[in-house]
Structure 1
Amino acid sequence: MMKKQVVSHPDMPDPYGAYSTVVRAGDFIFVSGQAGIDPETGTKAGESFEAQARQAFKNLNSCLECSNSSMGDVVKVITWLGDANERAALNELFAEYFPDEPPARSTPIVDLPMGLLLSIEATAIAKS
C-alpha cells in the first residue's frame, strides 16, 4: 500500500495556510504552489514578473531538493499566471529552468492573492 508522508525541512518555504508544502506518496513528490515570496521576509520578491517568477522557481527548487528530488525529476507543472501578457516571459524562464525534456505544463490565468503574478505547483519523481 502506498503511504503518504508530509515532508518538512527548515530550508523549505512555510505554507501560507492549512496545507502541506510538500507531500511524498510512493515514488512521487507533490509540491504545493510556490509563489514569488521571499521565505525569509514573507513578502513579495519584487513587483516585476521576472523577480517574482525567479523567486517562485527558487522556492520550487528548494522544496524539491529538500525532498530528495530535483528540477530534472519534475514530470508535471501547473503555472498559475496572474497576467496573460506574461506568457512569453514565462516561456523563456521555463526553458531556462527546464532546459532538457521539460515537464508537461498547464497554465491557467487566475487572480492570485497579494498582487502575486505567478505560482508554480509541481509533481516530481522521488528518488529512493
Structure 2
Amino acid sequence: MAIATHINPSSMPSNPAFTQAVRVPAGADTIYIGGQNGLDASGQLAGADVAAQARQALQNLSTCLEAAGASIEDVVKWTILIVDGHDVRAGFAAFQEVWGQRPNPPAITVAKVAGLAIPGAVVEIEAVAAVLA
C-alpha cells in the first residue's frame, strides 16, 4: 500500500515514467538502498548493455526491498547513474518493463558519469522507499 502523495503540478511537464515530487508523511519508515549494479547472484554482470544491466539492477533492488519489508510500489525516489556514451533510453525501457502500468511512478534523477566502481558496469540504481511504521 503506497503511503506517499505523488505531486505533478499542472504547470510542469507530465511524464508517465516519473513523478515531479513525492511527499512522505510523518511516521513513515524510510528504506535507503545503495546503488545496485547489474551483478547477478554469482557476481557476474548480467550483460554488457544498459538494458540487461538495468533489468538486473532493478531485480537486485526488488530483492533488497523485499528483505526490508517493502516492494517496488513503495519506492518514492530513484537515482540512476549511466556511464557516458550509453543510451539512457534503454534504461528507461527496462524500468517500464518492471514498473508496467502501475500508477504514481517515483521521482527520479538520472546522471551521466565517467565510470562506476564495478569494471564493465554501465548503470547503477539506488532507491529510497517509504512504508508505514
| Matched residue type, 1:103 | P
In 1, Cα distance between the equivalents of 2:77 and 2:38?
19
Q: Which residue of 1 aligns with 2:71?
A: 70
RMSD across aligned positions (CA): 1.8
1:125 match: 130
Q: TM-score, with normalisation over the residues of structure 1?
A: 0.72
Q: Give the counterpart letter for 1:118 in structure 2.
A: V
Q: What is the Cα deviation at residue 116 of structure 1?
A: 0.4
* Number of corresponding residues: 103
Secondary structure in 1 matching 2:111: coil
Trace 1:1-128 onto structure 2 (pairs within 5 A): 27-38=29-40, 40-99=41-100, 100-110=103-113, 111-113=115-117, 114-128=119-133
**Residues 67-117 of structure 1: CA distance to partner in whole angstroms, max 9, x if unpaired?**
100000000000111145421112222222223211000011111131101
- More helix by proportion, 1 or 2? 1
Percent sequence identity over matched residues?
A: 38
Q: Do the aligned partners of 1:69 and 1:127 also contact (CA within 8 Å) in 2?
A: no
User: Structure 1: how far apart are the matches of 2:132 and 2:87?
Assistant: 33
Cα contact 1:44–1:52 (8 A) shared by 2: yes
Shift of 1:127: 4.2
| Gap change, CA 1:91 and 1:84, over 3 Å in 2 | farther
Matched-pair contact (CA < 8 Å) for 1:68–1:127: no
- Mean Cα displacement is larger for which, 117-126 or 80-89? 80-89
Go from structure 1 to structure 2 and tell me whether the alpha carbon gap of 1:75 and 1:45 turns closer, same or farther (over 3 Å shift).
Answer: same
State which drifts further: 113-122 or 86-95.
Answer: 86-95
Bigger relative CO (Cα 8 Å, ≥ 6 apart) = 2
Gaps of at least 5 residues in structure 1 are 1-25
Deviations 1:10-63 (A, max 9, x none): xxxxxxxxxxxxxxxx6110000011001x211211212222111101000000
Which amino acid counterpart does residue 117 of structure 1 have in structure 2? V
Q: Flag the structure with larger Rg.
A: 2
CA gap 1:85/1:124 in 2 versus in 1, 3 angstroms:
same
